[in-house]
Structure 1
Amino acid sequence: MWAFLGRPECILCLSSALCAMALLSNNEFSRLNQTHLTPLLLINRKVGLQVKDSQFTLEGFPFRIISGTIDYFRIPRNSWRLSLRKMQAGGFNTLTTAFITMASQSGLWVILCPGPYIGSDLDLGGLPSWLLKDPKMKLRTTYKGFTKAMNRYFDNLIPKIAKFQYKKGGPIIAVQVENEYGSYYMDKKYMAYVKTALVSRGIDELLMTADDGVSLRKGHLENVLATVHMKNIKKETFGDLRSIQGKSPILMMVYTTKSFDTWGTLHQTGDAQMLLKDVHEMFHLGFSLNFYMFQGGTNFGLIGGAQSSEGYKPVVTSYDYNALVSEGGEYTVQYREFQRFFHSVTDSHLTVQPKTTQMFAYQPVTLLYFMTLWEFLPNLVKTTKSSKPLSMEQLRVNERSGQSFGYILYETVIFSGGLITSRGHIRDRGQVFLDNIYIGLLDQSNSELLLYKDVSKKSQILRILVENQGRLTSGQDINKERKGLTGDIYLDKSPLRPFKIYSLEMNNIFIQREFPNSWQRVTSQVQGPAFFLSYLKAGDPPQDTFMKIQGWGKGVISINGRSLGRYWNIGPQETVFVPGSWLQPGVNKIIMFEELKGDEKIHFSTKAQLGH
């Protein structure tokens, strides 16, 4: 008994006083009868989600939130409805997300997380990088430059979602104000400002905050329900909750057994049995909970962020997250176990179980073509000339909103050799080339490189190809997360001048351009940086698959003009998910940008290989 109270990792440590909060006094669960509390059955609505002592109520009836998170931007649009059906069939009654229109049709309520900051291990926590054009920007504060952008965002968003609130016949039963602000806390007035911004525009359902155990007090707002993320929960956490808001229901807003993966580290795995024991215990104690993630999905289009708790570590492309439904949409053993458990403790309607997702291993692609980056550059008509380096955010591209993702190439002329020093101005990874020949690497751990000039030449072209590997997703240092060359680069002690700058964003618009007709057939391994072209033939209908990156080095992949994400042979991830809905019957165009060295084939698999 009480496995949850003594979790070995010490992630959760509840005091014996917490036992008094339990709605049940023994090991037997009383079945929850919530079958009448569904979006499809509640037509006449008067009272939405409320707090009554230690439980939630909906229309005055006791209501236990069994929720899961799905990020719409990590799931192919054609799969949204299917993912929601899998959630409802699994015994869940609520979706925590930023998309809502399909939820009620699937019998799910919605806890809406409108931001503007959402975290979620995204580049800059989901905030747009153009905010950092302002050198004085203070993100997530009442700084005028930020609130102006936030108000414009809410002016556009809230009128579209307010009509989906519970009292207006929609599925939204609660709205989260920002996310984990207590751990950031740069401005004590900010959370109240966000609350007012939401309420004044018509949000009138139950409001919530969400913070980890040690940040509850800083992130809390008066008359707003505080919910808990499982991180840093200690004995004192529930005492803090009680002192903040008295006797109230406990919603474990983020519950998970693992974390995201980062490049060059071991694959994170969870303990399914520990997860199940914890959820049993939370139910015994009367908790509501939200699984993060129900289905993790994929960091399509280079949207993954980075963490800095143990040095800069960028997030991998897969966001499988050991979720109940896998990256590709397959049921896991955990899903089946929780489905049985939730159906055993709730009087939920039995629904038709959506069929399991089928993967397909296409035949290897053996006919490839390539074009070096240097051959491609003359086709970039929009370049920037500058006397000194400009960061991605400072470029006057994308209607002057700057560059968000991908690569940026800096080109200058040198007349002598010497020691190149970056002084910390490379963000994040810079490959150095002299007359198209690779010289070495500059990054956050290597700031110097010795350069030998060819004495037979009066001058040589020096190029630095810099990759944005992902902006920090949290912490106060997000205000410094400009990418590219963020300051001067020195040759000996003189700053390099001037520069020709190429934007290589590698987004869908970039990939969809017309490439020059100068492709050469691959007959052996090709040294990067280079673009590779190949074609995949799919049947009707096309099926989901995984592309194997064995034999390739590092780069990004797109198919039919849509970015699948990054790959890197340092692992742990060894496959990239290819949604069947992004394919078409017949011929499909694959474009790869390979930084290091390309292979002669592309292989496919039915199984994700995310590391060991």
Structure 2
Amino acid sequence: MKKQLIGLLFLVLSASYFQPAVAQQEQDAPFKIGTASFLLNGKPYVIRCGELHFARIPKAYWRQRLKMVKAVGLNTVCAYLFWNFHETTPGKFNWEGQADAAEFCKIAQEEGLYVILRPGPYSCAEWEFGGFPWWLLQKKDLKLRTQDPYYMDRSRQYLKEVGRVLSSLQITHGGPILMVQVENEYGSYGTDKDYLLKLRDYLKEANFNVPFFTCDGVVQLKNDVQKDLFAVVNFGSNPEAGFKALREVQPEGPLMCGEYYPGWFDSWGNAHHTGSSDRMVKELDWMLEQKASFSIYMIHGGTSFGLWAGANCQPYLPETSSYDYDAPISENGSANPKFYALRDMLKKHLQPGEHLPDVPAGIPVQKIAAFNLTSVAPVLSQLGKPVLSDTTLYMEDLGQGYGMMAYETTLPAGAKSTLDFTEVHDYAEVYLDQKLIGVLNRMKNEHSISLPALSKNTRLRVLVEAMGRVNYGDYMHDRKGLQGEVYRISNIGKLQLRGWKHYSIPLGEGNPAFKYQPVATAGKLNEPAFYKGSFNAKNNNDFYLDMRWFKKGVVWINGHCLGRYWNIGPTQTMYVPGVWLNAGKNEVVVLDLHRPLAPRLQGLEKPILDSLTELKAISSNHRKAGQQFGNNAGSLIYSGTMENSAKWQNFNFPLKSGRYIAIEALNNFAEDAYTSIAELELLDENGKQIPRNLWKVIYVDSEELKSQDGKSENVFDLQYTSIWHSQWKDNSPKHPHQIVIDLGAQINISGIKVLPRQDMETGRIKDFRLYLTNKPFKGL
């Protein structure tokens, strides 16, 4: 009797803390969250999950990809919904064709897989605007991911529609959906727990009655974990530390990694990311030995077709259309060595009565012989009717979501001067009359350009291409076009340019009608143009379109938008699904912002995912020849020693003031030549984080750009898995290593926070020094 009373008391205490186990589920529910494990039909259940996104896979290939997921040894798939993929126009929802989320879930169930649904409203996922519809930005005072009334009302309408389409597919109704996520990684953005609970209530109103959960990274968990919602933790390595952090905020319940990273996504101008197969297998095996559940992000990355690839910020980094992710299932759905290593390990952890099906045959690939594009349509000479405004407008002001805009005004005669556009979102070509005088790239924080002396009034044209909207962090209100006032600055003063004409050039699945002419008679074009041609395909096999003759733009095959290409790399090819081909003639249209080397294409059997042509495509030249951090002892404000851990390291000191800050690594715990940092933050006089939007790296003694994305700007890019890493591929300079940041203004600093690299110990700093000054450091 005594033991029974103790057991009853334990259950009562557990229920009082661990609400998700009892409050949001019926006692006879087929899937429940217990105090120690998930329960499926009353029996302990370990979720072996993998993430893949139906929006990134041609619908005709959904079943093949899901068969691959089953064959590798998983029992569940995680599926994001992207709000902007389903509500492209306010109030008009699309759940058909490529957007048929219900059909995807049904196929998953037919293939023996359960589904974890991640409906948003915010998703991230390196997807355009994190999944938010662009039209939200037409409301100028919008505050995303807050209790802003307009944002919450639109989110509620969207989630109600999600419930209409998908609530009948919950396991409580005989469907495959086990759990539903509330928002996504909110702890990395805010701390308003009432906001999360309201979204949870919207999901309840939408007739979802399976368990709800939240996910976040190890260091952000504390910001959104609460007893009313089950929590899972995201990490890319060190599961023991990740689960320890989860236990600190959620003492009971099954352990689950909501996103385990086998690779990483790619951004333009950075080396292709890969992940260790051995580490992945070892860490997932360890999790399963502990009866812990997981979801591999991504098990199959796929492709961000169309203009759906997003961007990160600080600095601005648009992502590639290829979302290969170095995942176990490659971009074209084929099994790679990582797949087979994972399958061999998962065979040891099958549940009673479970067996692995054979690996499906791969979708065949083909070569396409080189062919020429024979017609061309210049863009600037075929602009439509303009919208007039005294000052520059955003793309969203014109009712346009994606593509390009042309701005036009008149420059009066005058001496040499500089044009300053405040900010350019995201890539601009500047023309005087018909002459291209330069390019401005947001990735390099370029927003001004020199003007020659003008002897007469001259037409100024600025063609702005919108790349992906920021999908993560504090800079998501990413409106496109020219930002703010435009000034002409000369020795006689500062003149604001007015009287602008705005031309919309929408791109995506439906493009403006341009008149084409033969390439042979068009002459040398020095402006953006559409190039068109055709090729014959013998079959419907996949291939990779080789874009190395072209420079920057967008590609369509038979009306399907394949995405963006850019010759800076790392991606030099574009995945072409064979199911989008015609038997016989196939039409290709290529928009190129610059004159191509030749209007020529070919199809390859293998992708080119890691070929950088500009190692400094993003980073400016942080270290000039002969430049060296000098003796700056007079600017030293702190010396300290870090811990050898993946946790945030906090260091406080008496209040100091300055504009230029330098952190100098003297050594590391491995006693080798390398230095790495994941994130660097500064604290103001109240101990609060100082905004980093004006930060700019002006010197780093060493950074790895060739074989790893180790650029110095990673220390303030808001991504905890990206790092600054000193050079190691071709040279390994010894300590000390320094990074110098211009903070953009003189500020007061009372401390720093440093996040060491998360995936391994290599490069973690031991002893360091911190310098601060109002003038550039000696030697720089």
What TM-score range do you get, normalising by the shorter chain? 0.7 to 0.9
Deviations, residues 15-53 of structure 1 (Å, cap 9, x unaligned): xxxxxxxxxxxxxxxxxxxxxxxxxxxxxx953222223
Match of 2:287 in 1: 282
Is 2:125 aligned against 1:120?
A: yes
For residue 436 of structure 2, what is the amino acid of its counterpart? Answer: Y
Match of 2:221 in 1: 216
Match of 2:181 in 1: 176
Q: 1:186 to 1:233 in 2, by over 3 A?
A: farther
Q: 1:483 to 1:112 in 2, by over 3 A?
A: same
Q: Secondary structure at the match of 1:476?
A: coil
| Contact 1:422/1:442 (8 A) holds in 2 | no
Q: 1:348 to 1:424 in 2, by over 3 A?
A: farther
For residue 520 of structure 2, what is the amino acid of its counterpart? Answer: R
Of residues 341, 346, 353, the one that matches 1:342 is: 346
Match of 1:535 in 2: 534
Is 2:201 aligned against 1:196?
A: yes
Deviations, residues 413-464 of structure 1 (Å, cap 9, x unaligned): 2222443433532111211011121011223322221212552xx4222110
Q: 1:235 to 1:360 in 2, by over 3 A?
A: closer
Q: 1:504 to 1:232 in 2, by over 3 A?
A: farther
Q: 1:523 to 1:145 in 2, by over 3 A?
A: closer
Task: Give 1:211 shift.
Answer: 0.2
Work out the CA distance in 2 between the residues paired with 1:167 and 1:367.
54
Of residues 351, 360, 375, the one that matches 2:366 is: 360
- Pairwise mapping of residues 260-339 of structure 1 onto structure 2 (< 5 A)? 260-309=265-314, 311-339=315-343
Is 2:261 aligned against 1:256?
A: yes
Work out the CA distance in 1 between the residues paired with 2:513 and 2:469.
29
Of residues 357, 360, 363, the one that matches 1:351 is: 357
Q: Percent identity?
A: 32
For residue 449 of structure 1, what is the amino acid of its counterpart? Answer: I
For residue 145 of structure 2, what is the amino acid of its counterpart? Answer: R
| Contact 1:556/1:593 (8 A) holds in 2 | yes
Work out the CA distance in 2 between the residues paired with 1:187 and 1:423.
36
- Pairwise mapping of residues 380-529 of structure 1 onto structure 2 (< 5 A)? 380-381=384-385, 383-395=386-398, 402-417=399-414, 418-444=416-442, 445-452=445-452, 454-455=454-455, 458-479=456-477, 481-492=478-489, 493-510=494-511, 513-521=512-520, 526-529=525-528
Q: 1:528 to 1:605 in 2, by over 3 A?
A: farther
Tell which deviates more after alignment, 97-106 or 114-123: 97-106
Q: Secondary structure at the match of 2:190?
A: coil
| Contact 2:70/2:112 (8 A) holds in 1 | yes
Task: Give 1:107 shift.
Answer: 0.7
Task: Give 1:537 shift.
Answer: 1.2
Deviations, residues 250-270 of structure 1 (Å, cap 9, x unaligned): 111111133211111111111
Work out the CA distance in 2 between the residues paired with 1:592 and 1:68.
34
Work out the CA distance in 2 between the residues paired with 1:288 and 1:470.
33
| Contact 1:370/1:522 (8 A) holds in 2 | no
Work out the CA distance in 1 between the residues paired with 2:499 and 2:238.
52
Match of 1:69 in 2: 51
Q: Secondary structure at the match of 2:249?
A: helix
Deviations, residues 484-511 of structure 1 (Å, cap 9, x unaligned): 012111122222221221112211111x
For residue 361 of structure 2, what is the amino acid of its counterpart? Answer: K
Work out the CA distance in 2 between the residues paired with 1:62 and 1:232.
25
Q: Secondary structure at the match of 1:81?
A: helix
Task: Give 1:526 shift.
Answer: 4.9
Work out the CA distance in 2 between the residues paired with 1:449 and 1:501.
20
Tell which deviates more after alignment, 144-153 or 522-531: 522-531
Work out the CA distance in 1 between the residues paired with 2:191 and 2:533.
49
Point out the structure with max Rg over C-alpha. Answer: 2
Tell which deviates more after alignment, 299-308 or 204-213: 299-308
For residue 65 of structure 1, what is the amino acid of its counterpart? Answer: I
Task: Give 1:519 shift.
Answer: 4.0
Work out the CA distance in 2 between the residues paired with 1:420 and 1:186.
43
Match of 1:167 in 2: 172
Tell which deviates more after alignment, 288-297 or 520-529: 520-529
State the TM-score, normalizing by the size of structure 2: 0.68
Of residues 521, 542, 545, the one that matches 2:543 is: 545
Match of 1:20 in 2: none
| Contact 1:213/1:234 (8 A) holds in 2 | no
Work out the CA distance in 1 between the residues paired with 2:537 and 2:317.
36
Work out the CA distance in 2 between the residues paired with 1:61 and 1:349.
18
Match of 1:103 in 2: 108
Match of 2:682 in 1: none
For residue 451 of structure 2, what is the amino acid of its counterpart? Answer: L
Task: Give 1:523 shift.
Answer: 8.8
Task: Give 1:525 shift.
Answer: 7.0
- Pairwise mapping of residues 566-585 of structure 1 onto structure 2 (< 5 A)? 566-585=564-583
Match of 2:606 in 1: 607
Gaps of 5+ in 1: 1-44, 396-401
Task: Give 1:345 shift.
Answer: 2.2
Q: 1:51 to 1:186 in 2, by over 3 A?
A: closer
| Contact 1:525/1:600 (8 A) holds in 2 | no
Q: Secondary structure at the match of 2:504?
A: strand
Work out the CA distance in 2 between the residues paired with 1:497 and 1:128.
30
Aligned-residue CA RMSD (Å): 2.1
Q: Secondary structure at the match of 2:346?
A: helix
Q: Secondary structure at the match of 1:363?
A: strand
| Contact 1:174/1:205 (8 A) holds in 2 | yes
Q: Secondary structure at the match of 1:324?
A: coil
For residue 611 of structure 1, what is the amino acid of its counterpart? Answer: D
| Contact 2:191/2:224 (8 A) holds in 1 | no
| Contact 1:214/1:237 (8 A) holds in 2 | no
| Contact 1:432/1:439 (8 A) holds in 2 | yes
Work out the CA distance in 2 between the residues paired with 1:522 and 1:90.
54
Greater RCO, CA 8 A, separation 6+: 1
Q: Secondary structure at the match of 2:476?
A: helix
Deviations, residues 241-296 of structure 1 (Å, cap 9, x unaligned): 33433222111111113321111111111111111111111112221111111110
Q: 1:475 to 1:165 in 2, by over 3 A?
A: same
Deviations, residues 548-598 of structure 1 (Å, cap 9, x unaligned): 111211111111122111111111111111111111112111111111121
